[in-house]
Amino acid sequence: MKNQRINVSRRDFLIQGTAIGAGFSLGLFLPLSSRTAFAADNAPSYSSTASSPAGPEVNAWVEILEDDTVVIRIARSEMGQGTLTGLAQMVAEELECDWSKVTTEYPTPGENLARDKVWRSFSTGGSQGIRGSHDYVRKGGAVARHMLIQAAAEQWGVPMAECTAENSVITHQPSGRTTTYGKVAALAAELFPPEHIELKDPKDWKLIGKPVKRLDTVDKLNGKQVFAADLQLPGMLNAAIKACPVFGGTLKSFDDSKVRKMPGVHKILKVGDYAVAVVADTWWHAKSALDELPIDWNKGPNADLSSAAIDKMLDEGLSSSDNVFVGNRNGDVDKALKAAVKTVEATYSYPYQNHATMEPMTATALWTRDKCEVWCPTQNGEVALEATAEASGLDIRQCDVYKIHLGGGFGRRGAVHDFVTQAVAIAKQIPGTPVKLLWSREEDMAHGFYHPVTKCKLVGGLDDKGNLNGLHVRISGQSILASIRPQWLAENGADMITFQGFHAEGDHAISYSVADLLVEHAMRNPAVPAGFWRGVNINQNAIYTECFIDELAHAASRDPLEFRRQLMKDHPQSLAVLNAVAEKAGWGTAAAKGVHRGLAVTKTFGSYVAACAEVSVKQDGKLKIHRIVAATDPGYAVNPQQIEAQVEGSFVYGLSALLYGECTVKDGAVEQSNFHDYPSMLIDEMPEVEVIVMPSGGFWGGIGEPTIAVAAPAVLNGIFAATGKRIREFPLKNIDLRA
Amino acid sequence: MIKLKINGELFEVDVEGSTPLLWVLREQLGLTGTKYSCGIGICGSCTVHIDGKAVRSCLISVSSLDTSQDIVTIEGLSADNNHPLQQAWKELDVPQCGYCQPGMIMSAAALLNANPDPSDADIDNNITNICRCGTFNRVRKGIHLAADIAGDKKPNNKRGGA
């Protein structure tokens, strides 16, 4: 029987050898009709697609070449988090292929559309890359293995049951005859896939759970990895853009007479109703001209917006009954608090943060009357494709997006593709010419989709034994969904993502049992665009919860670890990670002189995480974070060494926010413009990190985001232990830590 | 025409003298390993060597340069991706997104040029590159490992655990 196969034709783009010191030739990406022509070893790769020649496609996930090279298709995006390697491990585990011959490639969202979403979701956010696709990608590998073995058996005329596969070699057990995947792949590709396939028992895994090396490291060491900001296409022009700095403002006019004659300038264009772009031969020319361009803006309705006004708006929400949603409720919190022997009250607040990916926003677009193509770093190729289609005025089937590894994502390049919309809007005004749009850092700082602002008032009651008898949490502030995905709001208008870490159950469930509990959100939406930012709302919610639990323990004169443990009897997995960090950090034993410890625990993105930080604060108020012991139980740990890298990395992102991260608003615009006023922590501030990976099995939790939540509260609780100071406003750069 | 010596080869470029070296490398010479990120000399993504010392190439006008200076970019650090730092980075899987890593590696290489066996304090004082993915602890390990590879010797005790 022959299998019905869709023949996928694709355009691939390779750099023509930009040899080091080879003269003046620019590296050019040449559009090719097939991949077979150029598989040059020296070709810089902008994605894993570039270096893989064509072979038979066994199924959508697996392509095998005659030399046994296995090309594994990866629908999610690589932005540093290691998903590319982890997903390849999952396919290869079931495929039983030779790991040393595995390469990867990105299918395009256009192909996914044409093939009825055979690769399912391209979304790379919410720590979903692996946990959202573990089942079907493993099945993809298993089905391919089955078809390869079947092909060999048919070729040999033996029962399939007598054949086994390992390391890309198929063996007919009775005769000892062998063949390789590469030799039977073409035949396998013609077969029908099996109707049922069984996955391995996790105890039999050989590759999942192993600390294998990343597949994308080598090209990142010598400049060969081509990011979207580096892309070159034949005849390409470069664009720099400036949008109205005031949120909601529009472009009134610009006077191009001053810059039209500047070197290299081709065009000065209006982009949408809110931005102007200079298109030039080089980006430096485009940016230099844009800096000189006189522009008038209509500042619009938010021209007076300030941080002080936003503050006031949030303060009002702390006690208002307007537009308030309940996220979790048990018992009767009012009654419990009235019955309390002692109540504790505190109000925290959390500022706007910019993602500040190292690679600023960028996209390259080529528009003609019947086709629009975009090359970009994206966390969601399908959303990028939708943005392309909408901006191009073409049918989505006339568009495609070529994904390029991201120079950082952190949520900025997922839900919103404003940079793609702009690139297409520019390219559409210059038909047939590819245009690369690159934002300046200043543009990137001014036009983020910022980590939302919230404040939180917590009231807790203690009974006569010093036990928590009631907890009232009132969050006031911005909803991400209301800003960028209003269609995802609940029917009553609630944004349940606001309650991350407070949910009654599920991936973001509260880690404590509190008999009388009320968690509410007064939604207050300032005109600053909000977006998903690594960790999303667990960043501040874990600070609110974990610092306040520490406050309660202190008010009850109880040990913070023991106080937590008593509330966690029904949360054994959370308790296990908390105990693990306490034990490894030596909680209850003396730390080095001047060093103090703080704890935090949470469940988020489906994983259980905890941290114990060791800090000291000098007399002059200087903070040093010495060490953080972190534990994570993600259910299954696909690549432990990459989990360690993600834990350490999440701490840098989370601690940078704690120490420095703050976007303030004045006259309707963000005041910070670059890394001088929006700093990021450096290597000299980085604590030692000890990572405990403790997969308990039976579920799939996220990795990229969960641990970010526990870094800040553990450090803050350590600062309290060191100084007696409760810090409730951030970042710490604004706070005097002197005891 | 401005003449430059980059990665051991001579180049002539026809640009305004005020153009930063970064953009000459990227847009005139196609050496895109050197990255743009902040453009104000803070983040270090654009780090290259001039006469063996690390410099932020986004702040250096090409008119200030001539062929008497040896400019080395990430593409010229080694012929075969085999500089001790590249070996160490590969061994430890240092990069995450990788965008800052050419600059990080060039900063580390300049440190090793000046100080073949840097202490943790030396690393703290000399590596001022921003990495938002957060590779710092592996960067530190990688510099120590590269020093060991280059010196073919055992780890010393000036180092912390991070």
Q: What is the DSSP string of A577-591?
A: HHHHHHHHHTTTS--
Residue A622 has pLDDT above 60, yes or no: yes
> What mean pLDDT comes out for the span A688-693?
98
Query: How much is the average pLDDT of A684-689?
Result: 98
Residue B24's nearest CA partner among B35, B33, B13 is B13
**A-B C-beta contacts closer than 8 Å:** 199
Other C-beta atoms within 10 Å of A183: how many?
17
Q: What is the dihedral of CA B121, B127, B129, B130, to 10 degrees?
A: -20
Nearest CA in chain B to A22: B9
B109 touches A at CB < 8 Å: no
- Find the angle CA(A494)-CA(A311)-CA(A485) to the nearest 5 degrees: 30
- How far is it between the farthest Cα atoms of chain B? 51
Across the interface, whether the CB atoms of B134 and A218 are under 8 A apart is answered no
Alpha-carbon distance A708 to A24, whole Å? 45
Lowest-confidence region among A1-10, A599-608, B105-114? A1-10
b (16+ CB within 10 A) / e for A668-698: bbbbbbbbeebbbbbbebbbbbbbbbebbee
B contact test, residue of A355, A358, A659 with most B CBs within 10 A = A358
Reported ipTM exceeds the 0.90 cut: yes
Specify whether the CB–CB gap between A179 and A152 falls below 8 A. Answer: yes
Nearest CB among A221, A408, A650 relative to B89 is that of A221
End-to-end CA distance of chain A: 79
pLDDT digits (tens, 9 = 90+) for A52-74: 457 899 999 999 999 999 999 99
A647: pLDDT strictly greater than 50: yes
Q: Is A278 within 8 Å of A259 (Cβ atoms)?
A: yes
Phi-psi region of A477 (alpha: psi -120 to 50; beta: other; left: phi over 0): left
Q: Provide the sign of the torsion angle of the four alpha carbons A552, A556, A560, A566, taken in this order.
A: negative
**Residues A338-363, mean pLDDT to the nearest whole number:** 98
The answer, yes or no, to whether residue A45 has pLDDT greater than 60, is no
At A440-470, the pLDDT tens digits run 999 999 999 999 999 999 999 999 999 999 9
pLDDT at A29: 31
Q: In which band, very low, low, confident or very high, does the pLDDT at A33 lie, cut at 50, 70 and 90?
A: very low
Return d(Cα A681, Cα B111) in angstroms, integer: 20
Q: Which of B9, B16, B139 has its CB closest to that of A263?
A: B16
pLDDT at position A51, please? Answer: 39
The beta-carbon neighbor of B123 closest among A408, A680, A683 is A683
pLDDT band at A38; cut points 50, 70, 90: very low
Write the CB contacts of A158 (distance below 8 Å, at least 6 apart in sequence): A172, A174, A175
Binning pLDDT at 50, 70 and 90, where does residue B159 land? low
Distance of alpha carbon A172 from alpha carbon A156, whole angstroms = 9
> Is pLDDT above 80 for A41?
no
Of the candidates A27, A675, A684, which has its C-beta nearest B30's C-beta? Answer: A27
Whether the per-residue pLDDT at A300 is higher than 50: the answer is yes
- Identity at A311, one-letter amino acid code: D
φ, ψ of residue A561 in degrees (nearest 5): -70, -45
Q: What gap in Å lies between CA B88 and CA A262, rounded to an integer?
A: 46
pLDDT at B152: 78
Question: Mean pLDDT in chain A?
Answer: 93
Q: Do B34 and A223 touch (CB under 8 A)?
A: yes
Residues of B in contact with A214 (CB under 8 A): 93, 95
Contact A686 B137 (CB under 8 A): yes
Whether the CB of B144 is below 8 Å from some CB of chain A: the reply is: no
Q: What pLDDT score was predicted for residue B155?
A: 53
Provide the CB-side half-sphere exposure for B86 (13 A, CA): 19
Q: What is the mean pLDDT of residues A507-531?
A: 98
Q: Give A729: exposed, middle or buried? Use CB within 10 Å, 0-12, 13-18, 19+.
A: middle
**Which residues are CB-neighbours of B4 under 8 A, at least 6 positions away?**
B10, B11, B12, B13, B24, B62, B65, B66, B67, B69, B71
Question: In angstroms, what CA-CA distances link B63 with A536, B28, B41?
Answer: 46, 15, 18
Specify the length of chain A in residues.
Answer: 739
Distances (CA, A) of A527 to A449, A453, A456: 11, 11, 20
CB contact residues (below 8 A), chain B span 41-80, against chain A: 42-43, 45, 73-78
**Nearest residue of A to residue B136, measured between CA atoms:** A683
Say if CB A260 and CB A299 are below 8 A apart.
no
From the list A157, A160, A151, A207, the residue with the least C-alpha distance to A179 is A151
Q: What pLDDT band is residue A30 in, cutting at 50, 70 and 90? A: very low
pTM value is 0.94
C-alpha to C-alpha distance for A339 and A462, rounded to whole angstroms: 9
Query: Which burial class, exposed, middle or buried, applies to A57 when counting CB atoms under 10 A from its CB (0-12, 13-18, 19+)?
Result: buried
In the block, which residue shows the tokens 């991260």? A661
pLDDT score for A74: 98
Q: Which among A445, A453, A487 is positioned nearest to A675, based on CA atoms?
A: A445
Q: Which residue on chain A is closest to B38 by alpha carbon?
A: A441
| pLDDT given for residue A54 in this prediction | 72
**pLDDT reading at A49 higher than 60:** no
Mark which residues 235-264 of A lie under 8 Å from B by CB: 238, 263
Q: Do A676 and B81 touch (CB under 8 A)?
A: no
- 10 Å Cβ neighbour count for A268? 20
Q: Letter for the amino acid at A445?
A: M
Which chain A residues are Cβ-neighbours of B134 within 8 angstroms?
Answer: 648-653
Q: Is A418 helix (H, G, I), strand (E, B) or coil?
A: helix
CA distance A208 to A639: 7
A708 three-class SS: helix
Chain A environment of B32 (Cβ under 8 Å): 18, 27, 223, 226, 229-230, 232
Strand partners, A627: A614, A688
Determine whether B81 is exposed, middle or buried from the number of CB atoms within 10 Å of its CB (0-12, 13-18, 19+): middle
**What is the amino acid identity at position A350?**
Y
Check CB contact under 8 Å for A80 and B97.
Answer: yes
Q: Is A140:A61 a contact under the CB 8 Å cutoff?
A: yes
- Is A460:A471 a contact under the CB 8 Å cutoff? yes
CA distance A46 to A669: 35
**Which chain B residues are closer than 8 Å to A689 by Cβ?**
137, 162
Interface check for A227 against chain B (CB to CB < 8 A): the answer is yes
DSSP label of A42:
T
The span from the CA of B5 to the CA of B70, in Å, is: 6
Per DSSP bridges, beta strands A669-670 and A435-438 are unpaired
Q: Nearest chain A Cα to B34, which residue?
A: A223
Could you tell me the strand order of the sheet in which A70-73 lies? A57-59, A62-64, A70-73, A102-105
Which chain A residues are Cβ-neighbours of B101 within 8 angstroms?
A: 220-221
Q: Find where tokens 């590759």 sit.
A: A207
- Which of the residue ranges A11-20, A232-241, A507-516, A580-589 would you say has the lowest mean pLDDT? A11-20
Mean pLDDT within B127-136: 98
How do A237-243 and A435-438 pair as beta strands?
A: parallel
Residue A565 pLDDT exceeds 70: yes
Selecting from A18, A81, A359 the residue whose C-beta is nearest the C-beta of B99 gives: A359
Strands (DSSP E) contained in A478-532 are 517-523
User: Residue B156: which pLDDT band, with cuts at 50, 70 and 90?
Assistant: low
Q: Are A241 and A289 in contact (CB under 8 A)?
A: no
Contact between chains at A686 and B129 (C-beta distance less than 8 A): no
* pLDDT of amino acid A470: 98
Q: How many CB atoms lie within 10 A of CB B79?
A: 10
Residue A468 forms beta bridges with which residues?
A: A462
Residue A28 confidence (pLDDT): 29
Decide if A652 and B134 are in contact by the 8 Å CB cutoff: yes
Contact in structure between A640 and A209 (CB atoms under 8 Å): yes
pLDDT on residue A220: 98
Question: What is the overall mean pLDDT for chain B?
Answer: 95
